[in-house]
């Protein structure tokens, strides 16, 4: 079982790694070892996941002498991730980051929304210590599960001297929170960092880095507001496509209620953020009605290169799903206290 580190001893060296569990495929369970798609996510406790790799971790020079703690924050399929779990996770990550004996954290998470959670943690907390997202594409009960290796690699990254910021580890590659995105439905190496490329890779328990760690400044007031606000600003994500007529935008405007008003829209455009003419008209109407609109691209690589006559602001290089979260934070920060 995971060891417990002595508390309230500021003079102890930072040799503790905390593993926070949120569920996902890495904690999934299927009825047969050969079933890699019909499993139930979020079934195996994070303490069990950590105990499964602790013996191997003790044999790695990178992790020799380290202390491990496990804490279950949530147990969900990451497709169902949302503000309630995010609030709990933000609070627990922040709690452990200020403990002097803690050198870093690992968060076990499902793959479907990992990129959103990673971006949110980095944007709000910008941790000076490493917060490493670990995941899996096969359940824990698989004949050859990928979770144990990913968890081991994540622990090694979290124990790397000088590590900082939120990163994700999957199939031996390390991705920055701002760049990581899921690009495959089934393959073990399901994540990519687009044009930026991965931060590095893990080889035999050691990180080989090609890029610097994520940087940023923690936003303490925004952090407090996120924890205190149960209803985050409503921002919806839509997609431009052949035949898009703007009906979805008009339906969202019509359904907007005083108790839950539509505050923002992010649209994943074609190519360089181009939009069907009818959809563009509907979005312009929404913007005129006070809805904040951001324009991104549905392309996996590249970002919108703005032009001088653009009617809608672009997402600043963020993917549509991350841009939606960024707009939520922007609107929340602008709201009167």
- At 101-143, the pLDDT tens digits run 999 999 999 999 999 999 999 999 999 999 999 999 999 999 9
In a domain, 299, yes or no: yes
Looking at the 3D structure of the chain, how many domains does it have? 2
Q: For residue 57, what pLDDT band results from cuts at 50, 70 and 90?
A: confident
Whether residues 60 and 185 fall in one domain: yes
Whether residues 55 and 180 fall in one domain: yes
Whether residues 315 and 175 fall in one domain: no
Whether residues 181 and 250 fall in one domain: no
Check residue 336 and give its pLDDT. Answer: 86
In a domain, 1, yes or no: no
Check residue 12 and give its pLDDT. Answer: 56
For residue 169, the cross-strand partners are 134, 174
pTM of the model: 0.94
Residue 321 has pLDDT above 90, yes or no: yes
Give the orientation angle of helix 46-59 with respect to helix 147-158, to 10 degrees: 70
Rama region for 304: left / alpha / beta (φ>0; ψ in -120 to 50; rest):
beta
Check residue 330 and give its pLDDT. Answer: 97
Whether residues 247 and 153 fall in one domain: no
Q: For residue 32, what pLDDT band results from cuts at 50, 70 and 90?
A: very high
Q: For residue 337, what pLDDT band results from cuts at 50, 70 and 90?
A: confident
Check residue 71 and give its pLDDT. Answer: 98
Residues 191-206: what's their mean pLDDT? 96
Q: For residue 7, what pLDDT band results from cuts at 50, 70 and 90?
A: very low
Q: CATH number, domain at 140?
A: 3.40.50.1170
Check residue 76 and give its pLDDT. Answer: 98
Check residue 4 and give its pLDDT. Answer: 41
Using an 8 Å Cβ cutoff, are 132 and 105 in contact? yes
Check residue 215 and give its pLDDT. Answer: 94
Catalytic residue among 25, 62, 111, 160: 25
Q: Is 113 a catalytic residue?
A: no
| pLDDT tens digits, 141-177 | 999 999 999 999 999 999 999 999 999 999 999 999 9
Check residue 206 and give its pLDDT. Answer: 95
CB-based contacts of 225, cutoff 8 Å, min separation 6:
332, 333, 337
Residue 314 belongs to domain spanning? 233-334
Q: For residue 5, what pLDDT band results from cuts at 50, 70 and 90?
A: very low
């Amino acid at each position: 079982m995971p060891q417990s580190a002595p508390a309230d001893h500021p003079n102890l060296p930072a040799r503790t790694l905390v593993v926070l569990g949120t569920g996902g495929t890495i904690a999934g369970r299927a009825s047969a070892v050969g079933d890699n798609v019909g499993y139930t996510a979020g079934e195996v406790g994070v303490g069990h996941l950590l105990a499964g790799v602790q013996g191997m971790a003790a044999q790695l020079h990178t992790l020799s002498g380290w202390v491990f703690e496990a804490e279950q924050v949530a147990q969900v399929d990451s497709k169902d991730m949302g503000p309630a779990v995010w609030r709990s996770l933000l609070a627990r990550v922040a709690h452990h980051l200020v403990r002097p004996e803690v050198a870093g954290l690992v968060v076990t998470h499902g793959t479907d929304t990992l990129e959103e959670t990673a971006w949110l943690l980095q944007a709000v907390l910008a941790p000076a210590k490493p917060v490493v997202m670990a995941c899996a594409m096969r359940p824990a009960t698989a004949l050859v599960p990928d979770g144990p290796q990913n968890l081991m690699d994540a622990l090694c990254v979290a124990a790397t001297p000088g590590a900082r910021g939120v990163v994700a580890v999957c199939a031996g590659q390390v991705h920055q929170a701002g760049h990581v995105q899921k690009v495959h439905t089934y393959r073990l190496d399901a994540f990519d960092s687009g044009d930026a490329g991965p931060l590095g890779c893990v080889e035999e328990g050691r990180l080989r880095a090609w890029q610097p760690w994520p940087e940023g400044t923690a936003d303490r007031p925004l952090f407090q507001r996120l924890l205190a606000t149960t209803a985050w600003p409503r921002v919806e994500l839509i997609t431009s496509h052949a035949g898009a007529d703007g009906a979805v935008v008009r339906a969202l405007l019509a359904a907007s209620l005083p108790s839950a008003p539509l505050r923002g829209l992010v649209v994943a455009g074609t190519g360089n953020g181009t939009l069907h003419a009818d959809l563009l008209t509907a979005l312009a109407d929404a913007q005129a009605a006070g809805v904040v609109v951001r324009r991104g691209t549905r392309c996996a690589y590249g970002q919108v290169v703005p032009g001088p006559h653009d009617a809608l602001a672009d997402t600043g290089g963020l993917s549509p799903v991350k841009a939606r979260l960024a707009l939520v934070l922007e609107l929340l920060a602008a709201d009167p206290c």
